[in-house]
Structure 1
């Protein structure tokens, strides 16, 4: 498997396109498919343009994931803490598995935290001169939180939505009722599936980790890990506020006050799962720990180049989502509904989990948005679950488990992590592809088998 992973990595480095090219091809393919299904050129063009800016708030959130994570990590206190954690592994292969475990466990609490923390841990491990760790494989391991189990945890967009009737569209509420966590992520079947996924993912990391003689380090990719730059001395009187902690302290106190109210009024896991709260927390702590505004601003300037891929590519993914859901063709049916008809209508009670898993994973490759895609899929998928008498909470978990599969090779969610690591998608996808080969039959098989252990419960209305 290690040799196969190296061949896969070599192939992807040679043939896998830049992530922007990948997104552009996706737009073209979906646009042609919409036209072929009867959408007029005008409708197709409008869907492309309307969708282009639809992810701008999310784009900025993801950019700030990179900026906030880098700013916080380069604060002297946090940098030392990460260095302490990075001392645990003794071998390069052990370090890769260590990163994978930390990433997956963290993602069960918050996928955003997992993404940034995993990347920062990889960079800290890369600074160890006594550890020959393959930087590509470690980066792929840091991505496993997003590529394996994030949607099975507390930050699952679908599970959170179904548990909160005030957040659900009225039409969906009538179909599914309220599904508490006890009927979704806390089902014993869901916990068993998550446990198996973590164990198997770690095993694949161990088996595919390159040996020391084949390992490529951070320096091989031009990522030179150096000590955090020191703050140069003040050169003119006008800079005194930039070098004084006064502004940092005042703004930091305001930020901590808002965060205190946020965590006091909501469960901690719900509050931290919000990207706005998460980014606000990182920026506030980063500002306070850098202490002087000039140190904080220097860290932001060093982080911004890592956001370029996010800023230029996410608009194309917004267009893909709009083309799938807002460009009706013949019979006023969109591509999304045609795909659902293709898969849902061939399902039975026994095969629903398998068919839905296949469908959700395929559509997730083109619409990489856990919560947004669930709002598109849920009305007709959950109605089919009712008609076929399939456990509704398990249908949500089928979606969650299958939703993560395309993430393993879709560069959409990789971009913030790649910005932290200074890598390209092609550098890590060879290793994540090996995980995908194992995960697809494992996840689909377990979804089908565990689904047979559940019985249908009618919707419970609030």
Structure 2
């Protein structure tokens, strides 16, 4: 049965029919991620002309001014993917992932377990979550195939990606890490808010628990009946049957002295020890001052310690490079979008207009929805905070709203629509051998069905 022409099962539950309908629409209409970036560029350009009343030449200048603005951040993002991938593929870690991934006995259980991997991984670190969710999806599919069980591979991969919707409430929250740093660009407007306050408050804790329960159940019930599962494509079968390059043992019999030095675990452990000494010293003298660089450093040295052999670690990094191809190409394009919406004043117009119709009660929800919309154009937590943060905090101060809750609402909106934004799925798709249109129907369904959790939380829960 062709994936693009699957017949809806009239006897299936509502979630099955809803997910199937969106999956078919996605297969038919969803462009590739790079095309999406160009479409957003055109939309931002036209928005600047029509709403901000800027000239075409002004918009071109704003576009190029922002084009290279995310280079440092793109390197941080790339390292997050690479170091997370290396850890997820370390032989010891892979062994435990496979044990758990062998537990599901059918497709719905596989989708639920994949969602749990992705969500819990994202709570630790978004880069780790992307890779762990993808690797778990791949291993679950391999296990189900060995058992001769019919399953919907795109849904299982989409489930593993679900954590992208809620990572901004976890340990690697870029907005939370930013406002916890003394001297951050909004300190005079909102002060410095310790990361522990951002992370541990009634609203955030409640939402983290809710997202660890509800989306996995949604993925479970979205899974179609076995007879409605599409046949695996030949290229998908090739990915599932590919040998695991990360667990290949190195035979050093007959190796030269240089080769033995290159594979020496002593060097690897010494380098990891050096990194751990600094990390421990940093926490002991500066407190729990996580930032993106420190998080990447932790994952780098943990990965080196897990492999021991530096040459094998470098090989694991090399095998994960494909997962950042889209980041390298598309981040300049999104930097251009960021430049146009920031320098033209387009974000001020959209966000300021919505804030002007807010009351203290509706402001958190409107801030969340505004952030969800802006995320489609600026798919970066830190980048979005740079353009929306000043407007959100100024509006909060004007109407007496809580600045911490406002920050969390921007963070939640930034992550919610990640499931409708194919940019962050690039690494997942590379690992699992699928295209954006294969999973986007399901991810959008999960996003829409999970939306009430965010909306009720930001409206009624205190911080």
Interval of TM-score (by shorter of Structure 1 and Structure 2): 0.7 to 0.9
The residue number in structure 2 matching 1:241 is 258
Q: Report the CA distance between 1:205 and its aligned residue.
A: 0.9
Give the Cα–Cα distance (whole angstroms) in 2 for the partners of residues 201 and 410 of structure 1. Answer: 18
Distance 1:449 1:74, change over 3 A: closer
Is 2:133 the counterpart of 1:115? no
Q: Is the 8 A contact 2:87 2:306 kept in 1?
A: yes
Q: Report the CA distance between 1:272 and its aligned residue.
A: 7.8
Is 2:39 the counterpart of 1:18? no
Is 2:297 the counterpart of 1:280? no
**TM-score, structure 2 as length reference:** 0.85
Distance 1:226 1:249, change over 3 A: farther
Distance 1:41 1:426, change over 3 A: same
Give the Cα–Cα distance (whole angstroms) in 2 for the partners of residues 74 and 109 of structure 1. Answer: 17
Secondary structure of the corresponding residue to residue 88 of structure 1: coil
Q: Report the CA distance between 1:365 and its aligned residue.
A: 1.2
Give the Cα–Cα distance (whole angstroms) in 1 for the partners of residues 74 and 316 of structure 2. Answer: 20
Q: Of the candidates 324, 337, 341, which is equivalent to residue 324 of structure 1?
A: 341
Secondary structure of the corresponding residue to residue 124 of structure 2: coil
Q: Report the CA distance between 1:24 and its aligned residue.
A: 0.6
Give the Cα–Cα distance (whole angstroms) in 1 for the partners of residues 120 and 92 of structure 2. Answer: 23
Give the Cα–Cα distance (whole angstroms) in 2 for the partners of residues 275 and 50 of structure 1. Answer: 29
Q: Report the CA distance between 1:228 and its aligned residue.
A: 2.4
Q: Report the CA distance between 1:71 and its aligned residue.
A: 4.1
Q: Is the 8 A contact 1:69 1:282 kept in 2?
A: no
Secondary structure of the corresponding residue to residue 216 of structure 2: helix
Give the Cα–Cα distance (whole angstroms) in 2 for the partners of residues 121 and 269 of structure 1. Answer: 30
Unaligned residue ranges in structure 2 (runs of 5+): 1-14
Q: Is the 8 A contact 2:276 2:301 kept in 1?
A: yes
Q: Of the candidates 373, 376, 380, which is equivalent to residue 384 of structure 2?
A: 373
Give the Cα–Cα distance (whole angstroms) in 1 for the partners of residues 126 and 289 of structure 2. Answer: 11
The residue number in structure 1 matching 2:162 is 144
Total equivalences in the alignment: 438
CA deviation profile, 1:97-151 (whole Å, cap 9, x unmatched)? 112123222322222221111111122222211154422112111111111x211
Q: Of the candidates 210, 219, 224, which is equivalent to residue 240 of structure 2?
A: 224
Secondary structure of the corresponding residue to residue 139 of structure 2: helix
Distance 1:35 1:243, change over 3 A: farther
Distance 1:406 1:250, change over 3 A: same
The residue number in structure 2 matching 1:254 is 271
Give the Cα–Cα distance (whole angstroms) in 1 for the partners of residues 29 and 317 of structure 2. Answer: 33
Distance 1:74 1:440, change over 3 A: closer
Distance 1:299 1:356, change over 3 A: closer
Q: Is the 8 A contact 1:65 1:112 kept in 2?
A: yes
Q: Of the candidates 416, 427, 435, which is equivalent to residue 405 of structure 1?
A: 416
Secondary structure of the corresponding residue to residue 204 of structure 2: helix
Distance 1:119 1:320, change over 3 A: same
The residue number in structure 2 matching 1:30 is 44
Is 2:187 the counterpart of 1:176? no
Q: Of the candidates 420, 427, 449, which is equivalent to residue 438 of structure 2?
A: 427
Unaligned residue ranges in structure 1 (runs of 5+): 329-333, 455-462
CA deviation profile, 1:394-434 (whole Å, cap 9, x unmatched)? 21222222221210111122122222222222111111111
**TM-score, structure 1 as length reference:** 0.85
Q: Of the candidates 420, 426, 432, which is equivalent to residue 415 of structure 1?
A: 426
Is 2:65 the counterpart of 1:50? yes
Q: Of the candidates 175, 200, 204, which is equivalent to residue 158 of structure 1?
A: 175
Q: Is the 8 A contact 1:242 1:292 kept in 2?
A: no
Distance 1:261 1:197, change over 3 A: same
Give the Cα–Cα distance (whole angstroms) in 1 for the partners of residues 117 and 321 of structure 2. Answer: 26
Q: Of the candidates 115, 120, 134, which is equivalent to residue 100 of structure 1?
A: 115
Q: Report the CA distance between 1:278 and its aligned residue.
A: 4.8
Give the Cα–Cα distance (whole angstroms) in 2 for the partners of residues 82 and 272 of structure 1. Answer: 25
Q: Is the 8 A contact 1:155 1:273 kept in 2?
A: no
Give the Cα–Cα distance (whole angstroms) in 1 for the partners of residues 262 and 82 of structure 2. Answer: 21
Secondary structure of the corresponding residue to residue 156 of structure 2: helix
Give the Cα–Cα distance (whole angstroms) in 2 for the partners of residues 335 and 200 of structure 1. Answer: 35
Give the Cα–Cα distance (whole angstroms) in 1 for the partners of residues 372 and 458 of structure 2. Answer: 13
Is 2:92 the counterpart of 1:77? yes
CA deviation profile, 1:371-411 (whole Å, cap 9, x unmatched)? 22213222221122122122222212222222212101111
Q: Report the CA distance between 1:443 and its aligned residue.
A: 2.0
CA deviation profile, 1:234-268 (whole Å, cap 9, x unmatched)? 8998x763465545642552243123312441267
Give the Cα–Cα distance (whole angstroms) in 2 for the partners of residues 268 and 112 of structure 1. Answer: 20
Q: Report the CA distance between 1:437 and its aligned residue.
A: 1.7
The residue number in structure 1 matching 2:214 is 200
Give the Cα–Cα distance (whole angstroms) in 2 for the partners of residues 122 and 280 of structure 1. Answer: 23
Q: Is the 8 A contact 1:62 1:416 kept in 2?
A: no
Once the two structures are overlaid, the 10-residue window that deviates more, 224-233 or 337-346, is 224-233
Q: Report the CA distance between 1:224 and its aligned residue.
A: 2.8
The residue number in structure 2 matching 1:2 is 16
